[in-house]
Amino acid sequence: MERFAKAASDLVKTLVEILAQDLGVQFTYFQDNCPPNSSYLRMNRYPPCPYSSSKLVFGLIPHTDTDFLSVVYEDQIGGLQLLKDGRWFRVKPNPEALVINIGDLFEALSNGVYKSVRHQVVATQFERFSAAYFFCPSDESMVESYSQPGIYRKFSFKEYKQQNKKDVQDIGEKVGLQRFLL
Ligand SMILES: O=C(O)CCC(=O)C(=O)O
Ligand SMILES: [Fe+2]
């Protein structure tokens, strides 16, 4: 786990720098706002589901990730799907590849240029494992678009997480960036 987290962390730092190159984001933004202890690793286990051949059963309900960027390492079972142009597409497992998801914070930072991808995991009759590394800023970090006019208002990561938590409690789901539209 430690080796994977270190490799994912090194990779993600390179990726965010490349992706942010033309966004006008301050040169040291990620260094200044993303200390090692604000990112985390989630180990997912999806139990086998005997009903999954006749019914759609979620291992993970449709969601976007609450971070800048996620690095997902999955086994060969499959089940991850992503939403594109209103349709769900299966992500074919590739032992030679990692899955990189744009998260909500990168969408806000890029003023909607990069889209936080909606994804879900559908259960199958086989047990499945994945590991996801979530690259996040510290709670007090401010997230805002560096191009104007911004489509989302400026917010702190803490405020963003609190709003999501409140929405889940009040209406049963995360509303996400929509809440911060100007
Ligand atoms: O298990 C997967 O392939 C995706 C996991 C995921 O989307 C998450 O943990 O947020
Ligand atoms: Fe996710």
Whether the Cβ atoms of residue 58 and residue 121 lie closer than 8 Å to each other: yes
Catalytic residue (one of 90, 118, 128, 179)? 128
Name the CATH code of domain 2-135 (choices 3.30.70.330, 2.60.120.330, 1.10.1740.10, 3.30.460.80): 2.60.120.330
Answer yes or no: is the ipTM higher than 0.95.
yes
Q: Is the CB of 119 under 6 A from ligand 1?
A: yes
Task: Give the residue, by CA position, lying nearest to ligand 1 atom 3.
Answer: 80
Sign of CA dihedral 95, 11, 34, 114: negative
| Average of per-residue pLDDT across 169-182 | 96
Catalytic-residue membership of 42: no
Q: pLDDT, tens digit, for every residue of 23-78?
A: 989 989 999 999 999 999 999 999 999 887 788 999 999 999 999 999 999 999 99
Which ligand minimizes its atom distance to the CA of 42? 1
Predicted pLDDT of residue 94: 97
Q: Is the CB of 130 under 6 A from ligand 1?
A: yes
State if pTM tops 0.90: yes
Map residue 19 onto helix, strand or coil: helix
Q: Is the CB of 44 under 6 A from ligand 1?
A: yes
